[in-house]
Amino acid sequence: MLMVLFVQALINKVKSYQHEELRLINIHTIFSLAHHRHNQGKLAENIRDQLLNLAKNLENDTLLWDKLKVFVNVTKLELQQPPKKYRSKVFWEIYGLKYLKRAGWVRRGILMGETVAEHTFGVYLLALFFLPNKAIVEETSYDKEKILKMLLAHDLAEARIGDYTPFDDKGEKRREERKFFDEFLLLGDSPDDYQFKNIVNLWYEFDEGATYNARVAKNIDRIENLAQLFCYNSEGFNIHDHSKWEKDIINEVTEVGTEEGKFVLEQLLNSKSQFIDFLMPHLIKLQPDVMNQRQLDILSLQKDP
């Protein structure tokens, strides 16, 4: 009862206010309390209705900080659904990365190509198997475990905004990704939930690319494209810019990449023949019907119309 009265008092203060900075603090306090109480199933219905009206009135408030506006909007979405429902909605949204095709392959006519989730799994495996456990250059801040976690987080926002290629609007992509992760931060039981906050911090570090670990992660992200390019080329896909793309990635990592990135590239180039010599026969043995149909599909795609 006391909590209801306290929230009601804050709502009344926000509606009547005076001092702008204190008003913004009260707005944050109200919606933070609502976020926690709703997720615990303890928010009174009349308070919920008042908060939804308040959130609607704040939509065009030009004095709200950007992050506060995101917080109010996400809390509004939560309040419109049963407790924890918004969190499960975002889970399924991200789960959709298993189905979202990588745009670069689609534009090259490979409609049955890898998904964003498969790419994420690929970069993780490259880093896990080929990155050294210790820094090659001792004075760097190299941290393999951190890089592995960064790679798992780096494409999560594509669940909402779709897969972008280097030819798309980078400014728009960055804005949409930051908006997604600002909301993602609020999915924990508190805005400071360490699990969600850690993922958000890792993504920001990767995106800004200023730290040594972020540079290594970006190298791995590029090198995985090369690994998949080798696979598709070996399977018989006709990729018109295969040679140029391969050369560009190798030159980029070799000339301006980190020492660890160069090491991973070397390991990949030395082992690429194993895709044909080992992996394809192994997959045919494990699931012959699937692999035979895949080969027929590839052949049909390569026929001239």
Q: How many Cα atoms are found within 13 Å in the side-chain-facing hemisphere of 286?
A: 6
**DSSP type of residue 86:** H
Alpha helical stretches, state H, the chain = 2-16, 20-39, 45-58, 66-79, 85-95, 103-107, 116-130, 144-153, 158-161, 170-184, 194-208, 212-235, 242-256, 259-271, 274, 280-286, 288-302
Which two three-digit tokens encode residue 152? Answer: 């798992």
**pTM of the prediction?**
0.82
Domains delineated in the chain: 2-83 (no CATH), 98-272 (1.10.3210.10)
Give the model confidence (pLDDT) of 134-160 as tens digits. 999 888 899 999 999 999 999 999 999
Give the model confidence (pLDDT) of 157-175 as tens digits. 999 999 988 778 888 888 9
**DSSP type of residue 38:** H
**Which residues of the chain are modeled with pLDDT < 70?**
1-19, 188-193, 302-305
